[in-house]
Structure 1
C-alpha cells in the first residue's frame, strides 16, 4: 500500500523524455492489454534529469511498483504491481491505488533487455476478489510456480490468495478461495536451504493490519496504528505447508527488537514496521527488511532464525521520490541487488516505476545505506 503525501517530482524529472529512457534501455513487450498505460501519457524530459537518479526505470510504457524479483532457472523474473490512473481521490487508506492486474517482467541479467510478458492475472479471474490488486510475490516448488497476491474480498477486507502456473511468466490460475488464516497485504515468500518456506505479510493503515489485533477482523478498529509508547504492530509470518497453498500451523508475529532487546515502539516511526516486508539470507543470518511508511525509509533487522525475533540494524535506503517505496533483494552472478520503485516518470505517488541498483555490504555483513 502506498499512501499520499503529494511529494512532487522535480521539474527536470517531470520534463524528462521517454525517448531518452527508451534509448537507455531495450524493452520488448510481448502482449498489450487494455490496462496498459500508453507511453504518450507519461511526461517528457530532457537529458539533464538522468544524472540526478541513482538508476533509471526498468520499464516506461506502463507504470509499475512493488517489484518482487526472483531468479528462476538462471533468469530474473519480476512480479510488480501494475499502477493505473483511475481518477480516484487520494486518501490514507490508499483507495486511489486501484490496480486491476499483474504484468510479469523478465531479463537475463541486470542491465539486460527487459521483456513484458503481458497480463498474468486479472482481478476478474479471481472468484472471491472485489478490488485493489496490490503488491504480489512468487515462489517455485515441485514443478509449479506460485503467485501470492493481496486483494480486497467482496466485503472490502484484504486477504491473500494464491495462483499457480507451470511457467514463471504465467498466466496464473487463482484458487477459488483466499488462503485460510491470511489477512492484510504484501505477501513475501522465503524458501530456506532446508526446504521450508515461510510467508511474511502485513501492512498498516490501508493495509488493515491494525484491524486484526484481536485475531479477527474488527471493522470498528481505528484506521491507523496505535501511537505512543506502546509496542509497535509487526508483520506476521506463517510456515507454508508442502502444497504451498496453506499455512502449516498458526501465523505468528515477526518481533523486531531494539539494541537493548526491547520491542520497538509505535512512536519509533523511523524504525518500526509499516509494510513491504522481505526476507533474505546472507552468511547464515536472516535479514528482514521493510518500509517504515510515513517516514519513507527502507530498514532492516537481523536474526539467527527465519521467524525471529529480529534485532534492528539500520537503514538500507533513504527516501525515494514519492511517498514511500517497496523492495526486494536478490543475488545474481555473485552480486546482490535491490529492486525498488519511485515516481520519476509521473511525479504522482500512485503512478510509479520500478528500478534496480546494487546492494553493498560491509565486512561484518551490515548493509551500506543507499541514497537514491
Structure 2
C-alpha cells in the first residue's frame, strides 16, 4: 500500500486484447460486494485462492502515513478457474482476535506446508509500530488462529512468502512511508522518519526490501533479515532518487526455470517493476515495467502460474473512484521467449 494524499486518478482504462484466449476489453472487478485490494493469489489443490486486504470506509482523515487505510479483517476468496466467479468464504481473521494488535490490517499473504495453511499479516502493535504476524488453519479459507506474538525480528509491511523447489521458504517484506521501513534503516526504530530518509540521501542506494529464510515451522525467521539488492544494467545499486525503478513496497517473488523474478511497486510513481536474479537472495538486476499505473494511488500485485499460463492479480479503484476503496482484478501475464515480461497498459 502507499499512503500519500490522493492525487488525481490516472487516466481511464484503455482497451486491451490479451493473447492465448484470456481476452477482455477491460478486466472486471473480481469482487463487487466488498472492497478488496493488495491481492495475494496462490494455487492450492488445483484451485486459486486470493488473500486480499479488505478496504472499508473507516471515516478516518487522510494523511501521508495512511491512517485512512484502517482495515479490520480479512476475507479469503477462491476461484475454480481463471474465468470463474470469486467465492467469498467470509471473515478469515479479525484484528480483535490478534492479542498483540492495535490497528490497520494491511496487505497479507499465505503459504502452505505439511497440512497447515499460514496467513501472514502486517498490523500495528499497541505502540503503533508495524510488525508481521502469522496465523494458522487446516483450511486455505480459514478461520485462522493468530500466534500470541508477532514474528520475532519482523517489522514494516507487505509480507510475501515464496517457497522454492527445494522446500525452503523465504519472506520478503517492507514498505516506505506509512509502511515504516525507513524508520528501521539503522537497525533501530526511529519514529521521527515520517516518509523517507530526507534530503541529502538522494544519491545513496535506495532503501531496500528485506528477505529472511523461514524456519521449517513457517512461523519464525531462521536468520536475520537481509537487504534485497536491486542493481541497474551496469551492476550498480539503484539510487533513492531513481523513483521509476527503486523499490518502494509490495514485493513478490516467483520463479521461472532457474531465474528468480523479484517484482515490486515503485510506490509514488505507481509502476509495477521487476528484476531478475539467480538466487532467492539476489542480487536482482532491473529488467523493466510489468504494469503501468492503474486508476487510483496504490499499486500492489501477485503473480501465479495456473494451468500452464501466468496471471497477474492487482487492484484499481473502478468501483469507487476513491483511493482507499479498491477492487481486485486479474489478467494474463505475457512473456517473450527470453522470459522477459510484456508491459501491461491497464
TM over 0.5, shorter chain:
yes
| 2:310 pairs with one of 302, 312, 336 | 336
| 2:99 pairs with one of 108, 127, 138 | 127
Quote how far apart the aligned CAs of 1:349 are: 0.4
Is 1:280 aligned to 2:260, yes or no? no
8 Å CA contact retained: 1:54, 1:357: no
Is 1:2 aligned to 2:34, yes or no? no
Quote how far apart the aligned CAs of 1:225 are: 3.9
Aligned twin of 2:173 = 201
Quote how far apart the aligned CAs of 1:121 are: 0.1
Aligned twin of 2:159 = 187
| 1:321 pairs with one of 295, 302, 308 | 295
Distance across 2 between alignment mates of 1:12 and 1:170? 35
| 2:58 pairs with one of 75, 82, 86 | 86
8 Å CA contact retained: 1:191, 1:197: yes
**Cα distance per residue 1:5-54 (max 9 Å; x no partner):** 332477999xxxxxxxxxxxxxxxxxxxxxxxxxxxxxxxxxxxxx8x63
| 2:281 pairs with one of 304, 307, 320 | 307
**Cα RMSD between the aligned structures?**
1.5
8 Å CA contact retained: 2:71, 2:104: yes
Aligned twin of 1:61 = 33
Secondary structure of residue in 2 paired with 1:109? coil
8 Å CA contact retained: 1:297, 1:324: no
| 1:364 pairs with one of 322, 338, 345 | 338
8 Å CA contact retained: 2:2, 2:268: no
Structure 2, gaps ≥5 residues long: 15-23
Distance across 2 between alignment mates of 1:150 and 1:368? 31
Quote how far apart the aligned CAs of 1:141 are: 0.2
Distance across 2 between alignment mates of 1:120 and 1:71? 18
TM-score by length of 1: 0.88
TM-score by length of 2: 0.94
Aligned pairs, number: 334
8 Å CA contact retained: 2:13, 2:26: no
Structure 1, gaps ≥5 residues long: 14-50
**Cα distance per residue 1:72-120 (max 9 Å; x no partner):** 0000000000000012121110010000000000011101122100000
Secondary structure of residue in 2 paired with 1:185? coil
Moved more, 210-219 or 62-71: 210-219
Aligned positions of 1:1-372 closer than 5 A: 1-3=1-3, 4-8=5-9, 54-226=26-198, 227-372=201-346
8 Å CA contact retained: 1:121, 1:171: yes
